[in-house]
Amino acid sequence: MAQETTDTGWRGSPDLWLQAAYEALVESGVDAVRILPLAKQLKLSRTSFYWFFKDRDALLDALVARWQRDNTGSIISRSEAYAETLAEAMLNVFDCWLDSNLFDSRFEFAVRSWALQSDALLQKVQEADELRIAALARMFARFGNSGPISDARARTTYLVQIGYISMQSREDIALRMQRIPHYVEIFTGAAPLQRELDRFHARHDYTSQGS
C-alpha cells in the first residue's frame, strides 16, 4: 500500500500503523494499542495516524478484519485443498498449526483474550469458531462421514487445537511431528500413508532424525 509524505515529513502507511498495532496486541494486549504510544514507536506524529484511520476503534476494527481474513480464511482454504484421502486432508489442515504465515497462534490467543473484555468481539470470535468448524465438517463429509459424525469430528479436531492455543502449549518440533500421525488417526479413523507424511514434512522443511 502506498506510503504518504508531506512537506513536513513521512506519515507512514495504513499497513505500517496496523503492523505496529498487531505487535502491541500480541505482546501486551489490547490496552497497549493506543495511538500516541504507536506514534512514538514509529517515530511519527500523532496526527499522521488520522490520515489513515478515523479513530482508535477503526484501527481495532482493522485488526479484527486481519485476524478474520488470515486465521479463519486459512483454516477454510486448507480444509478445501485437494487431498486423495481424509488423512491427507487433515494434514492439509495441520499446515495451519505449523505455519504461522497461514495461522498465527499468537494473534489467535491475543484476540481471544481481548474478547473477554468485549461482548461485540466475543460474538465475532464465536461466529468465526462456527465458520471454521463448519468448514472442517464439510471436509469430513466430502470423504463420506455422515452429518453427526462429521460435526463431532470437526469439533474434536478444532477444539483440541484451540486448547493448545488457550493453554499456550509449546512442543518441540520433533515431538509435534511424532504425535501428528496419531492425531490424524484419532480425528479421522485412518492413519496417514507414509507418502502423505513425507509430503507434509517436506512442506514444513522437516527431516526426522535418522532419516
pLDDT digits (tens, 9 = 90+) for 87-140: 999 999 999 999 999 999 999 999 999 999 999 999 999 999 999 999 999 999
Q: What is the pLDDT of residue 194?
A: 97
Residue with cell 512514538: 40
Strands (E), the chain: 4-6, 9-12
Q: Which pTM was predicted? A: 0.91
3-state secondary structure of 144: coil
Q: For the chain, which residues make up each domain, given as ranges?
A: 10-53, 64-203
pLDDT the model gives residue 11: 78
Reported as a single tens digit per residue, the pLDDT across 133-191 is 999 999 999 999 999 999 999 999 999 999 999 999 889 999 999 999 999 999 999 99
Domain 10-53 classification at class level = mainly alpha
The mean pLDDT of the chain is: 93
Q: Which residue has the cell 484451540?
A: 162
Is 87:191 a contact under the CB 8 Å cutoff? yes
Q: Name the residue type at position 145.
A: N
CB 44 within 8 A of CB 12: yes
- Number of Cβ atoms within 10 Å of the Cβ of 153: 22
